[in-house]
A = this chain, B = another copy of it.
Amino acid sequence: MQIIITGGGGFLGQKLAKGLLNSTLTFDELLLVDQVMPVNPGQDSRVKCQQADLSNVGAAEALITPQTGLVYHLAAIVSSHAESDFDLGYLINLDVTRRLLEACRQTKAGIRFVFSSSLAVFGGQLPEVVTDSTAVTPQSSYGAQKAMGELLVNDYSRKGFVDGVVLRLPTICVRPGRPNKAASSFVSSIIREPLQGEEAICPVSTDLSLWLSSPETVIHNLVHAANIEASALGKWRTINLPGIHVTVQHMLDSLERQTDAETLSRVRFEPDEAINRIVSSWPGHIDNSRALQLGFQADQDFDSFISQFIINDLQKRV
């Protein structure tokens, strides 16, 4: 059995690869695909890396073979990028998703297709706590594209063409590396940069509510999605992954508590209306109950997000 991770060179793809290699899941091959040749995250002979631009005609189709048993479709154009490049966003976030689903359908029935969606599908007037029955009214092209992908995965699953699972990922914090074009990039930046002696820019108000997951928890949940029984999912394959509710102030307080005032002072406030508009349209609090019932896990508190980053990514002791 072969596992494919699209976006396998990215932060999440690389962590997921390690998570799968360390899991009890049995497979023969783990294929990491990305626009830039992915790094092999270990010494495991099961890992194959492949450079491919999935937007090229036939590229998505060529990926899926009768050996494929599980696809993690993580590749995406992130939120601010999809907002500035409308056509590219639709090409990657909608068309490539559809081509992958279609390739699965044409190859064999029942490939487990795990689609990473986002709380960016929500937007506008939201209830205090978003539930599984809250309408998606995205206020960004990224959110619209992810919402369309969700509908596709559900419809292909209902028809038996794939065995899909849609996971709406909370905003992930702390992402290692550099800022990117995600509107939520600051969420990691305001922790990550100060911890490394660098300045970070906070473009939003400190009372903004966020719905967060740590990388460890998201990886645990992505691996869990490989094992979950289709019958447990019922008629609707879309799951709001568990997160924790924090405000930006809450995050900054935690940073100061775990470091010092000097570290905190590296965060500068420069309001950015475009980012604020996108991020404040996302829910700050989602009902976790269905996801927890299905065996997905939640983080405990924000302090552990910071210590997890220090230990795993900065490789220091807390």
Contacts and interface: CB of A to CB of B under 8 A. Distances in A.
A20 interface: no
A11 interface: no
Contacts of A158: 139
Contact of A235 (B135, B139, B141, B147): B139
Interface in A130-148: 132-139, 141, 144, 147-148
Given A132-B135, A141-B159, A236 B124 contact: yes
Nearest to A126: B133
B138 A155 contact: yes
A252 interface: no
Given A144-B155, A148-B151, A236-B124, A134 B135 contact: yes
Nearest to A149: B148
A127 interface: yes
A99 to B, nearest CB: 12
B127 A151 contact: no
A171 interface: no
A134 B136 CA distance: 9
A309 B154 CA distance: 38
Nearest to A134: B135
5 contacts: A127-B133, A139-B235, A144-B152, A148-B148, A148-B151
